[in-house]
């Protein structure tokens, strides 16, 4: 075993005190109808990707357990959400925008208090570094306050009456109904909240099931949810997806399905809904974003961006660069710089200062990555970097594979981990055809300096993917930018402003512009007789 691997996992005594988990967290609470219920049934152990070294052996750290609810409890949660929505007549869907904002702001204040606890659990549950865990928490808080601002803007623009072709009307956005929100394990807080918060603030009621890993970190926020929203508006359930969420979809009572995960998972769940036309879906799914490095690219920049793009959080981002097409004229120099760049990445535990490479949370993941490497070697690829593919327990050192071709699994499969395939190319069409024929269509990155050449690639991709990045890695942010995808990569568009739209629908009150109708409308507005038809707006 290399020195790196033999020292990668810590002794219990080497973990800094402020990051230690002294006692596993046993969670029995779940939230239904405004009540913290206690579950006395089976619990699901929560394994950390961190193993603890004891002499020559390793033990995977168990940091707690969460309720393994059944379909009965999840249906109770759904009933609570259905009751709170009350066919659109409930307190929450009819509350004024100002009041809904107040509830969300109350939640945000309470959420901020839990920062340290949530950050620590992010590190232990999914192996995210301290810096990135803090960033995820803070980005989520910013997302919530920016959502409030965006809703105020939206509401201001809807406050006026419009006149058109002899009609007068007011158009406002109203909720869709009961939403089921499920997030991914790689951004269990941020990505989940980018659907959950817009769903709530627009007046929908929600059943929320945390991701498969990154579950315990929601616990410090349950009380904040409970105390910030009226009963039944937000319900939180735990357990196996098929048992809990499948049962919800089968009822046909879910109106909005917000899911970040695999397209297979999304298809399986959507299929269970008896009235698919009634189900509105907002999905963030698989991706295999390529980088295309042209011969005249600024090589240092291209390498830096591709390293960050393929290895931030060990490549476990839906937006990660998952295959690199590098022109044959520069591929050797590119690989040399890339290898040097990987060596600068610091392996370690999430709390280690300046750490970049950490253990992976998915069970069996290192075996899967090793299999991808084995398969690529069989078809002619080599691991180009020192220690590439070395692994122990949940840790896998990045493997730079070259030359990669279409016979290899890693050419088409989304590895979602630290394996970086490099495909050499000479003709532009080789890279263009990869994107055109891919099942995925989230983003692409182009590296080059000749504007005419770059423009050719841009135009070839505008109808293939949702975002084309020039001389920069693929990414979701800034959160005000639209985030979407084509083919199997997404359904619907998210951004701070777009999310408010996807969780709502426009309703219009319209009348012919007669004196009598104008009089009625004026009375309603002047006497504040309707919550909907109103010219009040929020400052
Ligand atoms: O996993 C997908 C995330 O939305 C990626 O977000 O590009 O900001 O890391 P990011």
Let me know: does 207 contact 178? Beta carbons within 8 Å.
yes
Q: What length does the chain have? A: 539
Q: What phi and psi, each to the nearest 5 degrees, are found at residue 503?
A: -100, 20
User: How far is it, in rounded angstroms, from Cα 155 to Cα 531?
Assistant: 13
Residue with tokens 């594979």: 401
Q: Is 322 a pocket residue for ligand 1 (Cβ < 6 Å)? A: no
Let me know: does 292 contact 431? Beta carbons within 8 Å.
yes
User: How far is it, in rounded angstroms, from Cα 334 to Cα 240?
Assistant: 44
Q: Is 489 a pocket residue for ligand 1 (Cβ < 6 Å)? A: no
User: How far is it, in rounded angstroms, from Cα 264 to Cα 1?
Assistant: 37
Q: Comparing C-alpha atoms, which of 100, 38, 106 is closest to residue 69? A: 38
How many angstroms does the Cα of residue 186 sit away from the middle of ligand 1? 9
Residue with tokens 């979602």: 416
Q: Comparing C-alpha atoms, which of 408, 386, 414, 413 is closest to residue 398? A: 386
**What's the pLDDT at 285?**
97
Q: Is 475 a pocket residue for ligand 1 (Cβ < 6 Å)? A: yes
User: How far is it, in rounded angstroms, from Cα 502 to Cα 90?
Assistant: 21
Handedness of CA 214, 220, 222, 228 (dihedral sign): negative
Of all atoms in ligand 1, which is nearest to the CA of residue 476? 7
Q: Which among 135, 317, 489 is the best mutation to test ligand 1's pocket, defined by most ligand atoms within 8 Å of the CB?
A: 317
Strand partners, 62: 47
**What's the pLDDT at 537?**
84
Q: Is 186 a pocket residue for ligand 1 (Cβ < 6 Å)? A: yes
Q: Which among 133, 137, 187, 498 is the best mutation to test ligand 1's pocket, defined by most ligand atoms within 8 Å of the CB?
A: 187
Q: Is 166 a pocket residue for ligand 1 (Cβ < 6 Å)? A: no
**What's the pLDDT at 1?**
72
User: How far is it, in rounded angstroms, from Cα 351 to Cα 16?
Assistant: 8
Q: Comparing C-alpha atoms, which of 225, 78, 253, 154 is closest to residue 497? A: 154
Number of H helices, E strands in the chain: 18, 25
How many angstroms does the Cα of residue 268 sit away from the middle of ligand 1? 24
**What's the pLDDT at 237?**
98
Question: Tokens for 209?
Answer: 């099931």
Alpha helices per DSSP H over 29-179: 71-85, 91-94, 97-113, 115-126, 130-158
Cβ count within 10 A of residue 165: 6
Of all atoms in ligand 1, which is nearest to the CA of residue 139? 8
How many angstroms does the Cα of residue 73 sit away from the middle of ligand 1? 32
First vs last C-alpha separation in the chain:
63
**SS3 for 447-478, per residue?**
ECCCHHHHHHHHHHHCCCCCEEEECCCCCCCC
User: How far is it, in rounded angstroms, from Cα 282 to Cα 275?
Assistant: 16
How many angstroms does the Cα of residue 474 sit away from the middle of ligand 1? 9
Model pTM greater than 0.95? yes
Alpha helices per DSSP H over 327-395: 331-344, 365-378
Q: Is 289 a pocket residue for ligand 1 (Cβ < 6 Å)? A: no
Let me know: does 339 contact 386? Beta carbons within 8 Å.
yes
Q: Which among 184, 477, 480, 498 is the best mutation to test ligand 1's pocket, defined by most ligand atoms within 8 Å of the CB?
A: 477
For ligand 1, atom 2, the nearest C-alpha belongs to 318
Reading the chain (539 residues) residue by residue, the pLDDT tens digits are 788 999 999 999 999 999 999 999 999 999 999 999 999 999 999 999 999 999 999 999 999 999 999 999 999 999 999 999 999 999 999 999 999 999 999 999 999 999 999 999 999 999 999 999 999 999 999 999 999 999 999 999 999 999 999 999 999 999 999 999 999 999 999 999 999 999 999 999 999 999 999 999 999 999 999 999 999 999 999 999 888 999 999 999 999 999 999 999 999 999 999 999 999 999 999 999 999 999 999 999 999 999 999 999 999 999 999 999 999 999 999 999 999 999 999 999 999 999 999 999 999 999 999 999 999 999 999 999 999 999 999 999 999 999 999 999 999 999 999 999 999 999 999 999 999 999 999 999 999 999 999 999 999 999 999 999 999 999 999 999 999 999 999 999 999 999 999 999 999 999 999 999 999 999 999 999 999 999 988 88
Q: Is 477 a pocket residue for ligand 1 (Cβ < 6 Å)? A: yes
**What's the pLDDT at 538?**
85
User: How far is it, in rounded angstroms, from Cα 351 to Cα 7?
Assistant: 15
């Amino acid at each position: 075993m290399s020195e790196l691997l033999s020292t990668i996992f810590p002794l219990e005594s080497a973990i800094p005190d402020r990051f230690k988990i002294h006692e596993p967290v046993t969670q029995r609470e779940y939230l239904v109808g405004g009540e913290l219920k206690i579950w006395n049934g089976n619990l699901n152990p929560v394994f950390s990707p961190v193993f603890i070294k004891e002499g020559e052996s390793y033990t995977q750290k168990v940091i707690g357990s969460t309720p393994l609810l059944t379909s009965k409890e999840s249906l109770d949660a759904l009933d609570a959400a259905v009751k709170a929505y009350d066919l659109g007549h409930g307190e929450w869907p009819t509350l004024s925008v100002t009041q809904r904002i107040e509830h969300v702001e109350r939640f945000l204040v309470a959420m901020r208090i839990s920062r340290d606890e949530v950050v620590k659990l992010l590190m232990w549950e999914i192996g995210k570094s301290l810096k990135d865990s803090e960033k995820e928490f803070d980005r989520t808080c910013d997302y919530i306050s920016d959502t409030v601002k965006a809703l105020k803007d939206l509401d201001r623009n809807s406050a006026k009456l419009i006149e058109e072709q002899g009609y007068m009307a007011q158009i406002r956005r109203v909720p869709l109904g009961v939403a089921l929100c499920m997030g991914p394990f790689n951004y269990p807080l941020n990505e989940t909240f980018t659907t959950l918060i817009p769903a709530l603030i627009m007046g929908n009621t929600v059943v929320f099931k945390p991701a498969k890993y990154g579950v315990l970190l929601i616990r410090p926020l349950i009380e904040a949810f409970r105390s910030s929203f009226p009963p039944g508006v937000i319900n939180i359930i735990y357990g196996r997806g098929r048992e809990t969420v499948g049962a919800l979809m089968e009822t046909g009572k879910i109106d909005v399905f917000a899911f970040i995960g695999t397209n297979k998972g999304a298809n399986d769940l959507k299929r269970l809904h008896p009235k698919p036309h009634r189900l509105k879906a907002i999905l963030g799914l698989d991706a295999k974003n390529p980088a295309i490095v042209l011969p005249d690219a600024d090589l240092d920049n291209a390498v830096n961006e591709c390293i960050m793009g393929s290895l931030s959080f060990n490549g476990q981002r839906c937006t990660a660069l998952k295959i690199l097409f590098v022109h044959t004229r520069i591929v050797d120099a590119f690989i040399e710089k890339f290898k040097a760049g990987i060596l600068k990445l610091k392996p370690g535990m999430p709390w280690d200062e300046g750490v970049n490479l950490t253990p992976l949370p998915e069970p069996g993941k290192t075996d899967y990555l090793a299999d991808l490497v084995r398969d690529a070697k069989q078809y002619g690829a080599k691991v180009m970097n020192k220690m590439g593919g070395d692994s122990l327990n949940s840790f896998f050192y990045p493997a730079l594979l070259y030359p990669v071709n279409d016979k290899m699994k890693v050419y088409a499969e989304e590895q979602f981990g630290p394996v970086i395939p490099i495909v050499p190319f000479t003709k532009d069409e080789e890279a263009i055809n990869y994107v055109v024929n891919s099942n995925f269509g989230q983003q692409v990155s182009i590296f080059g300096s000749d504007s005419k050449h770059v423009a050719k690639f841009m135009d070839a991709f505008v109808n293939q993917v949702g975002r084309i990045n020039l001389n920069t890695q693929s990414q979701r942010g800034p959160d005000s930018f639209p985030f979407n995808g084509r083919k199997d990569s997404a359904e619907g568009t998210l951004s701070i402003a777009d999310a408010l739209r996807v969780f709502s629908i426009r309703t219009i009150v319209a009348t012919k512009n007669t004196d009598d109708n104008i009089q009625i409308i004026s009375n309603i507005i002047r006497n504040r007789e309707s919550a909907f038809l109103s010219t009040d707006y929020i400052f």
